[in-house]
Structures are given as C-alpha cells and as structure tokens.
Amino acid sequence: MKPDPEADTRSLEHLIAAAARGDHACFAEVYERTHLHLFGVAVRILGQGQAAEDVLQEAYVSIWKNAGGYRSEVDGQTLQAMTWLIAIVRNKALDALRARTRRRESELPESGDIDEDDIQSTGHPAPSAMQLLEQASQALHIEGCMNALDGSHRQSLALAYYQGLSHTEVAAHMGAPLGSVKAWIRRGLEKLKGCLAAQGVVA
C-alpha cells in the first residue's frame, strides 16, 4: 500500500522520538495534535483562566525537555505517548491546584478582594464529572460493568479524577464522611481495573 504523501501518518511516538533528537518541527506537530485535548484536561481541573494556560505552557516545555525520557515501554510495560502526555499535564495541573488551595488557606480573606481564579473555577460547566465518567465508560465499553458500582462510588471517583479534588474536598462536595469517601474511591479504582481487564483493554 502506497503511503499518502499528504497525510501525516507519523505516530505520536515517532514525533516525540524526533523531538527528543532536537527536531522542533516534530515537537510543533505534537503540540498541534494534542494541545486542544490537553488544555481541556487542564481547564477541568483549574477552570478557565491564566492558571490553566500557564500549566499548558509549562507542560509542553517539560515535554520538549524530557522527550528523551519517554519510552514506549517502561520495564516491559507499554506506555502510549498520549498517556504520557496526559500524565504530564494532569500532574502539573494538580500541583497548581494544590498550590492555589494552600495559598487561599493561608491568606486572610479581605472584603472586596476578588480572586480571578475564584470566579473562573466556581460552578463547573456541563458536562459534570459524573457525566464525563459515564461517557468515558461508554467509549471503553465498560459502562455496564461500572454501573454495578453505587452512584456515590462513581461520583467520588469522577470528582477526584476530572476535577482533581482531594479526599477531603470530595467529602465536602458530596457532604459525606471522609472515611466513606476514601473507601468509595478505593473501591471505584479496583472496579475500574477489573472492568478494563474484562474488556481486554490493554492496561
């Protein structure tokens, strides 16, 4: 089969390997293909605003600098490029979220003091974290399996993953005891693992 010269069929893995060798055009292509999705991930956690854009910037600079460290196999375990990219962005977003929370906790609120981040992050836009989990489950064909879990298990997992909430924050959001939330999330993760394995989705 003749390769179509117009279509860019280079995989993300190959583009990252080329970026690791200093090929900036390939790095730009990685950005082109992935930044919309990764920005979405950052915004889910940080809300719209400068913080999410800063995280995206830091993430891609890190991707450029550490492209040489990406291996499609880690100690015998396959690691897809997109998984690696998502992990970088998500971890930076979580770090930024934690830093913001710490800052707020240590500052005395002043009347009339408007925090830009506050305005952007309150009230998450539809779809909700729960809906995102349902959509992802459907796409993975594990919806039926995951629905065996109580709604509270799925919701707590969804809040932790999509919004980056801590155990304490999930408990506050759901008005549930901290101990219960910890158990629900742990159970939710175990169930996710089992459902994916049953579907033959490569872990």
Partner 1 sequence: MKYTNPELLEHLASSYVLGTLAGGARRRFERLQRDRADVRVRVAQWEARLGHLAASVPALQPSAQVWKAIASRTQPAASTVAADASARGLLGWLKPAGFGFGGLAAGVLAASLLFVTAPGVFLSSDQVAMRTGEKLPQSYVGLLTDAQGKGKLLVSSLRHGKTMTVKVLSPITAPASGTLMLWALPASGPAFALGPVPVAGSAVSMLPDTSEKLLSSVSKLVVTLETDPAPAAPSATLVFSGNCAKLW
Which parts of this chain interact with partner 1 (CB under 8 A)?
24, 27-28, 31, 35-37, 39-41, 43-44, 48, 52-53, 56-57, 60-61, 64-65, 74-80, 82-84, 86-87, 90-91, 94, 98, 127, 132-133, 135-136, 139-140, 160-162, 164, 166-167, 185-186, 189-190, 192-193, 196, 201-203
Evaluate whether 176 touches 152 at the Cβ level (below 8 Å): yes
Amino acid at the residue 5:
P
Rank residues 10 and 48 by Cβ distance to partner 1 and give the closer one. 48
- Output the smallest distance, CB 14 to partner 1, in A: 19
**Separation CA 79–CA 174 (nearest Å):** 34
Scanning the chain, the segments in alpha helix (DSSP H) are: 12-20, 24-46, 50-66, 81-106, 116-121, 129-139, 143-146, 151-163, 167-174, 178-199
- Output the smallest distance, CB 41 to partner 1, in A: 5
- Output the smallest distance, CB 179 to partner 1, in A: 14
Query: CB-based burial of residue 123 (10 Å sphere; 0-12 exposed, 13-18 middle, 19+ buried)?
Result: exposed
- Helix, coil or strand: residue 73: strand
- Output the smallest distance, CB 173 to partner 1, in A: 14
Backbone angles phi, psi at 197, to 5 degrees: -65, -45
- Output the smallest distance, CB 157 to partner 1, in A: 8
Rank residues 6 and 90 by Cβ distance to partner 1 and give the closer one. 90
Evaluate whether 176 touches 151 at the Cβ level (below 8 Å): no
If we measure between CA atoms, which residue out of 53, 12, 52 comes closest to residue 33?
12
Rank residues 111 and 122 by Cβ distance to partner 1 and give the closer one. 122
Rank residues 90 and 153 by Cβ distance to partner 1 and give the closer one. 90
Rank residues 11 and 80 by Cβ distance to partner 1 and give the closer one. 80
User: What does DSSP assign to residue 184?
Assistant: H
- Output the smallest distance, CB 1 to partner 1, in A: 28
Rank residues 109 and 161 by Cβ distance to partner 1 and give the closer one. 161
